[in-house]
A and B are shown apart, each in its own frame.
Chain A
Amino acid sequence: KIDAAKSPLSISDEPNTLEEITTYNNFYEFGTGKEDPAANAGALTTDPWSIEIGGMVDKPGTYDLADVLKGQPLEERIYRFRCVEAWSMVVPWIGFQLSGLLNRVGVQPSAKYVAFETLVRPEEMPGQNSPILEWPYREGLRLDEAMHPLTIMATGLYGEDMPKQNGAPIRLVVPWKYGFKSIKSVVKISLTDRMPQTTWNMLQPSEYGFYSNVNPTVDHPRWPQASERRVGAGLFAGRQDTLMFNGYEDQVASLYAGQDLSKDF
């Protein structure tokens, strides 16, 4: 059991069950079906694990996972999780603020963005044997988004170590953005002054923007985003309205002051 403090940033909604959270995943490294990650992630080696931190930082290097975690206070963060496919869950993550790690490695003043990469290991990640996406999976945040208190690196959920199908041993969680921004099984973090390439944007730039903030007023060309289905709500539960910034509007709207969110989608 991981020792983690409660957080005032948690929401009070009832979390989804561990079973729901661990059997309904999009993690194409293990297959495109929702059940594939639970079925195929077992072989992934998560120990030893290290993260290469580089780019515009004072202390670049390859950090062992234990070293990454050193001095970072773990908290339980119960967050809404909204997939671009218009389903949602509530997940009790355990993690620490990304800002804590970035401050420790020293972000240089020239840095404006943070880029992330997922592990590439086709022998343990069978989905990577098919060119369905361009591997490694890549994601990125603007520096102010990365430094926001809501943005965490999660190492567990429900008080236990992160299940492999959910992105063990360490993943990003950005609760006001569509789920695909919350990159899993991170092995590389780089600070840069240019907007980094991100996987889904590379595949279909007209459909997946860099920001990908949850926004009921900006439709994905294929999926409506005005409403969502809460996984586990029951067969006839229907839908609920999607909230601006996934319900984190008060905390994050100021980050985008002056931006046209239908252009910067």
Chain B
Amino acid sequence: MDSLNRLARRVPTWVVYIAGVLPFGWIVWLTLTNGLGADPVKAIELRLGELGLQFLVGGLVITPLRWFGLNLIKFRRAVGLIAFFYIAMHLSAWVVLDMGLRWAEMANDLVKRWYIIIGMAGFAAMIPLAVTSNNASVKRLGGKVWNKLHKLTYFAALAGAVHYVVLVKAWPVEPLLYLGAVVLLLAARAWKARARLLPAFA
């Protein structure tokens, strides 16, 4: 574990940013080379959304890993910002490619369709997080407030996973796996918090 931590200390965060946008480059490459099948629009939308979820889950894994001695905290901001990037691109793909800028239909969806509402709420929750993901904001808000604000990540991840489960037909496994992962990671935090609080009440 110590050697892993030493290694993590040596890796600069820009490496994570580069690695994080590689899948985006891959999607662009597949799009240009007709590698996304008969319906590239849906494939682009789905891949961007899944990547967003994967980075959200990745961000939620960092704290539990620290309980076991592995400290990757310095990468968490990068992971979170990459998640925001993918969710923003996912939303753009929906607006431009999927819905073809049909604003009236989208507005209708935004008030009528649960998976759109939940997804949009998740995205909205990520905006203040992305905006305050810099040292100046941490300083201005103070660590306590900043930490509290960034608990919105829990909501964003849950909303994203629920959005995926609700939008598919029937109950395929993959969306359920994401939801399971998010619920598990949040439950672990609740469990930990309970363990911390209990002695105080005793």
- Decide: B112 and A219 in contact? CB cutoff 8 A: yes
Q: Per-residue CB proximity of A216-253 to B under 8 Å, as 1/0?
A: 00010110101101011001111100000000000000
Residues of chain A at interface, number, CB under 8 A: 27
- B109/A224 in contact, CB under 8 A: yes
Q: Determine whether B41 belongs to the interface, using a CB cutoff of 8 Å to chain A.
A: yes
Assembled-state Cα–Cα distance A232/B96 (Å): 16
Interface contact A19-B112, CB-CB below 8 Å: no
Beta-carbon contact of B170 and A34 below 8 Å = no
| B100 within 8 A of partner (CB) | yes
B97 & A235 in contact (Cβ 8 Å cutoff): yes
A224 touches B40 (CB 8 A): no
**Contact code string A108-141 (vs B, CB < 8 Å = 1, else 0):** 0000000000000000000000001100000000
Q: Which residues of A contact B102 (CB under 8 A)?
A: 227, 238-239
**Residues of chain A within 8 A of B97, CB atoms compared:** 235-236
Q: Flag B26-69 by CB within 8 Å of A: 1 or 0 each.
A: 00000100000111111000000000000000000000000000
Which residues of chain A are near B41, meaning CB under 8 Å? 229, 235
Stretch of A20-28, A51-59, A184-192 contacting B (4+ beta carbons < 8 Å): A20-28
Contact status of A87 and B39, CB under 8 A, knowing A219-B112, A239-B102: yes
A90 to B41, CA, bound (A): 18
**A13 lies within 8 A of chain B by Cβ:** no
> What residues on A are CB-neighbors of B168 within 8 Å?
32
CA distance A19 to B37 in the complex (A): 9
Interface residues on B, range: 20 to 34
Judge whether B3 is part of the interface by a CB distance below 8 angstroms: no
Check A235–B170 contact: CB distance below 8 A. no
Contacting residue for A226 out of B100, B105, B113, B170, CB 8 A: B105
Contact B169 A85 (CB under 8 A): yes
- Residues 161-206 of A at the B interface (beta carbon under 8 Å): 203
When A232-B38, A235-B40 are in contact, do A227 and B170 touch as well, CB less than 8 Å? no
Which listed residue (B31, B100, B166, B169) contacts A238, Cβ 8 A? B100
Q: Quick check: is B101 within 8 A (CB to CB) of the other chain? A: yes
Instruction: Flag if B37 contacts A24 (CB, 8 Å).
Output: yes
State the CA gap A239–B96 with chains docked (Å). Answer: 10
Distance (whole angstroms) from the CB of B44 to the closest CB of chain A: 8
Whether, in the assembled complex, B178 has its beta carbon less than 8 Å from a beta carbon of chain A, the answer is no
A34:B39 contact, CB within 8 angstroms: yes
| 23 A-B pairs with C-beta separation under 8 A | A19-B38, A24-B37, A32-B170, A35-B37, A85-B169, A87-B42, A132-B171, A132-B172, A133-B170, A219-B112, A221-B113, A222-B113, A222-B114, A222-B115, A222-B166, A224-B105, A224-B113, A229-B39, A236-B100, A237-B100, A238-B102, A239-B99, A239-B100
Residues of B in contact with A (beta carbons under 8 Å apart): 31, 37-42, 96-102, 105, 108-109, 112-115, 166-172
